[in-house]
Amino acid sequence: MKQKELFKLLDNIQEQGEGTVIDSERVLLIDGLNLFFRNFAMMNMVNPEGIHVGGLGGFFRSLGALIRQIDPTQVYVVFDGAGSANNRKNILPEYKSGRDLQRITNWDAFDDLADEHDAKVDQMVRIIQYLKTLPVKTCSIDKVEADDIIAYFSKIIPQKPEDKIFIVSSDKDFLQLVNENVIVYRPMEKEYYTKQTMIDKYKMSPKNFILHKTLLGDNSDKVKGVKGLGEKGLYKKFPELTQRDLTLEDIFTICESKLKEHVVYARVIQNRNDLEKNYKIMDLDNPMIDKNDEKYLNKVVESEVPQYIPDQFVAFYNQDQLGGMIRNVEFWVKEIFERLVIKK
């Protein structure tokens, strides 16, 4: 669903009776590393000292554009914690393997992989410093992925049917969370995914999308799917996915009843253990967080919005010599972020 269609729909929902506007929350949950890496990879920008700053400047340009576009009442920027992939690696050792061994740019700004890695770390540290000057909440937990934190927030923050959560990430795993309260925005597509968008694009409910991922796998995370099964074949072999909500056990039952019809059904049964692992590591309806993590995240939600220090943001910006990456930064930071203080 495109922006104009979505916000027209939301405006209609928020107006009841004769012009009565419902008091509702519109919360922006941002996958911080996803937003950063996308800008780092796309923006070959260096400051006058020849230091790459594309990820840093691009991150805040994107953040500002998202706030303008969605006009949230609250903003959360969530990051992976140290060792965040460990829980899933314990289930599937090859999970996300090899990611640190590949460059994501091919620019002259970096001499080699190590140089690029150092630049990513430096810019990420700086982003955290900038964010501490803004009225947005930041969050990370050691050994927990941002996906799990965002999934948990998406469950506990909405208090009313009219409250809307906007998850911003290019990670398709989040599509399984779409419901009446949760909308996923995929920046590269400039597309908002509602329940209807999922039906239009994938011919299935969001609840079935985890089965889509479980069976097809995810190359970016090194999660293998069923050999010989692709997107088109999935719909042909499992038309039930488009007809009703299913469980993984339902898939196994379907395959057992059709073993002689096609080799794919036999492969699903043969690979049952692996598919159960796929499902477990992809299941954001049951995020991998413990009770202590839940207590901490509840406190984050209940906490006051951080102090807003626009002059410090501008000082950082000038220190890093970001120049024209954000036009008229003094006006920009106030125009974008003061609305969050007013709505507090």
Task: Give the model confidence (pLDDT) of 72-98 as tens digits.
Answer: 999 999 999 999 999 999 999 999 987
Q: Which amino acid is at 301?
A: V
Would you say 198 and 209 are in contact if contact means Cβ atoms under 8 Å apart? Answer: yes
Question: Which of 162, 143, 166 has the alpha carbon at shortest distance from 153?
Answer: 166
pTM confidence score: 0.92
| Minimum mean pLDDT range among 15-29, 172-186, 207-221, 311-325 | 15-29
Please report the pLDDT score of residue 18 as a whole number: 44
Beta bridge partners of 224: 217
Please report the pLDDT score of residue 104 as a whole number: 87
| Minimum mean pLDDT range among 50-59, 83-92, 107-116 | 107-116
Q: Which amino acid is at 228?
A: G
Tell me the average pLDDT across 106-117: 87
Confidence of residue 20 (pLDDT cuts 50, 70, 90): very low
Contacts for 239 with CB less than 8 Å, ≥ 6 apart: none
Residues composing the chain: 344
Q: Mind listing the pLDDT tens digit for each residue in 252-279?
A: 999 999 999 999 999 999 999 999 999 9
Radius of gyration, alpha carbons of the chain: 22
Confidence of residue 342 (pLDDT cuts 50, 70, 90): confident
Confidence of residue 4 (pLDDT cuts 50, 70, 90): low
Please report the pLDDT score of residue 17 as a whole number: 43
Please report the pLDDT score of residue 101 as a whole number: 73
Confidence of residue 1 (pLDDT cuts 50, 70, 90): confident
Beta-sheet pairing, 20-21 with 191-193: unpaired
Tokens representing 232?
A: 């088109």
Confidence of residue 344 (pLDDT cuts 50, 70, 90): low
Distance of CA 2 to the CA centre of its chain: 18
Tell me the average pLDDT across 311-318: 97
Q: Is the dihedral of CA 33, 37, 38, 39 positive or negative?
A: positive
Confidence of residue 343 (pLDDT cuts 50, 70, 90): low
Q: Mind listing the pLDDT tens digit for each residue in 175-216?
A: 999 999 999 999 999 999 999 999 999 999 999 999 999 999
Tell me the average pLDDT across 28-41: 96
Q: What is the largest CA-CA distance in the chain?
A: 70
Tell me the average pLDDT across 220-234: 93
Q: What is the mean pLDDT of the chain?
A: 92
Would you say 149 and 78 are in contact if contact means Cβ atoms under 8 Å apart? Answer: yes
Distance separating alpha carbons of residues 80 and 139, to the nearest angstrom: 9
Please report the pLDDT score of residue 65 as a whole number: 96
Cα dihedral value 296, 297, 303, 306, nearest 10: 100
Q: How many CB atoms lie within 10 A of CB 341?
A: 14
With a pLDDT cut of 90, the percent of the chain lying above it is 85
Would you say 115 and 52 are in contact if contact means Cβ atoms under 8 Å apart? Answer: no
Q: How many CB atoms lie within 10 A of CB 142?
A: 11
- Ranges of CATH 1.10.150 domains, the chain: 206-282
206-282 has CATH 1.10.150 classification: yes
- Ranges of CATH 3.40.50.1010 domains, the chain: 9-15+23-169+290-332
Tokens representing 7?
A: 């916000």
Fold assignment, 9-15+23-169+290-332 = Rossmann fold (3.40.50)
Would you say 242 and 204 are in contact if contact means Cβ atoms under 8 Å apart? Answer: yes
